[in-house]
Structure 1
């Protein structure tokens, strides 16, 4: 049976390696309230796929059916005589093993749907991209949006800091902290050279940066401006911040070689709890007891690994 999608629904596909799995899954849970091992997920939540460093693309579902033949039979209702289109069969799907659909069959399905649609078929530069994908025992067809690796353009910055988060991790952390930016005010009170700020601002997240070091504040402002973004970065100790925020992102300690003492960490954590309802903490050491001492409740977490060391990302409220 074919259904024309009434309530908006979307299918997202993912690509990540073993070291990124935990971080990707935490980002997934932040966006959708659940994760999956099969690198494809269906949700009624709409996310720009270019926000995530792990998303490959998004299908905005138009119709679904029990068989691909049902989709082909409905294809003439889609497309336009005024635009060219292309249909792609998503290689990332849940049909694996003996049920895997081979390349030759995928090409046949693409052609069968495309030939029935309105408008011309353009393989190289179509006006509109569509996708077909099997998932959960059904077939889904809809508008396809490919993820653009915006974060990749932020890798090279005017000001660098050897132990700063990678752009991929920083982007995922910003998404974990603020999965749905509308109406949310965020702060990075130990912002360093602004790696998290650049990623958050590039996604339209309303975030401000503060740091006790005037030199890194200057570097942060330079990095933000370099990418054509506008940000509010000021020199300030966290204990001097009087405003309140929906969420704070804190990378602890500041680097691997001058780790903050417990007293300094306690001050940062205590004031983070004072100024923000939700706090996402990045740390290279376990600090569950310290977080509980300050009064935080840990709601989710993950591990991200880079070369010789791991960072823990802890979501607290």
Structure 2
């Protein structure tokens, strides 16, 4: 294929249930620094589509234009050489009315673009798949990638219990906590059976687990090994952690084995302060006052729903770090 240089921009399409919208938008803000009511995001941040349980497709933009003829003109310069190709116009439910294109017209546009590209088309097993999408009054064309629902494969675990986080929620939590894994060390100090650990480890996040209950520690280790992953899970209290981590994910204990009291919840939060600057908390109880009392400031939040069971997800920064960052923003 003749060398075509990507523009550095990406278009992501999303698919989620209405109950998941709040959580999905929190993940968007973690990845891209913004969210949207539409199910399409344009960003310079390159996120592997399989990382998110909500991203459906990604187009790595090669070129753009105000009108379709501008796309056709640029596509005509592509020479596939010995590589086969396919052009896809994705079905997107969240586009603005002005950007919507009917089914028959989409197929005709795919045909037009395929006709001007030099090379052999293969609709069944192409070497390269291209995608085309209208967004905010412009057309974008580039390399197309369909998301793989890796989280779905993790639903059936050797060890599980009914109140554990779903794999979709757990995967989103890991992304919100660690949107960019490079150089980031994470810990789940109340890891339970390891639902968050499995999702995080499967995405290459450097994370360790810990729990005070030997039964769930054994279960967590078994679940991790079952999926061919490798990650440490230690038996011990959060108060005994003596290493530093960039972020901690705490799903407040609420399961078959233990339900933390208010005092225990406060202790968990206070013990997290010495070893992490960023904290992601999952709770079924209102604990804003506990977060603040432990020395953290809530910077973002959402509600995650599982049938009638509601959990609140709180993104927190250590208070001294938060105010330091706020001061730096003011000076800038």
TM-score, reference length from structure 2: 0.91
Hey, which bits of structure 1, 4+ residues long, moved more than 4 A? 4-7, 93-96
Listed as ranges, the matches of 1:199-210 within 5 Å are 199-210=199-210
Q: Work out whether residues 164 and 195 of structure 1, in 8 Å CA contact, stay in contact via their aligned partners in 2.
A: yes
Aligned pair in 2 of structure 1 residues 56, 252: CA closer, same or farther (>3 Å)?
same
Q: Counterpart of 1:125 in 2: which secondary structure?
A: coil
- CA offset at residue 177 of structure 1? 0.3
Provide structure 2 residue ranges, at least 5 long, that are not aligned to the other structure.
318-332
Alignment pair present for 1:218 and 2:218:
yes
Alignment pair present for 1:239 and 2:229:
no
Q: Counterpart of 2:249 in 1: which secondary structure?
A: strand
Q: Work out whether residues 171 and 200 of structure 2, in 8 Å CA contact, stay in contact via their aligned partners in 1.
A: yes
Aligned to 1:114: 114
The Cα offsets for residues 140-191 of structure 1, whole Å up to 9 and x where unpaired, read as 0000111000000000001112111000000000000000000000000000
Q: Work out whether residues 93 and 135 of structure 1, in 8 Å CA contact, stay in contact via their aligned partners in 2.
A: no
Q: Work out whether residues 98 and 137 of structure 2, in 8 Å CA contact, stay in contact via their aligned partners in 1.
A: no
Question: How many pairs align?
Answer: 314
Whole-Å Cα distance in 1 between the matches of residues 284 and 79 of structure 2? 51
Alignment pair present for 1:32 and 2:20:
no
- CA offset at residue 271 of structure 1? 1.0
Q: Work out whether residues 242 and 275 of structure 1, in 8 Å CA contact, stay in contact via their aligned partners in 2.
A: yes
Whole-Å Cα distance in 2 between the matches of residues 258 and 70 of structure 1? 61
Aligned pair in 2 of structure 1 residues 162, 23: CA closer, same or farther (>3 Å)?
same
Aligned pair in 2 of structure 1 residues 79, 247: CA closer, same or farther (>3 Å)?
farther
Whole-Å Cα distance in 2 between the matches of residues 226 and 292 of structure 1? 39
Listed as ranges, the matches of 1:1-317 within 5 Å are 7-92=7-92, 95-97=95-97, 100-255=100-255, 258-317=258-317
Q: Work out whether residues 161 and 256 of structure 2, in 8 Å CA contact, stay in contact via their aligned partners in 1.
A: no
Whole-Å Cα distance in 1 between the matches of residues 85 and 215 of structure 2? 51
- CA offset at residue 97 of structure 1? 3.7
The Cα offsets for residues 283-307 of structure 1, whole Å up to 9 and x where unpaired, read as 0111111111111100100001111
Q: Counterpart of 1:291 in 2: which secondary structure?
A: helix
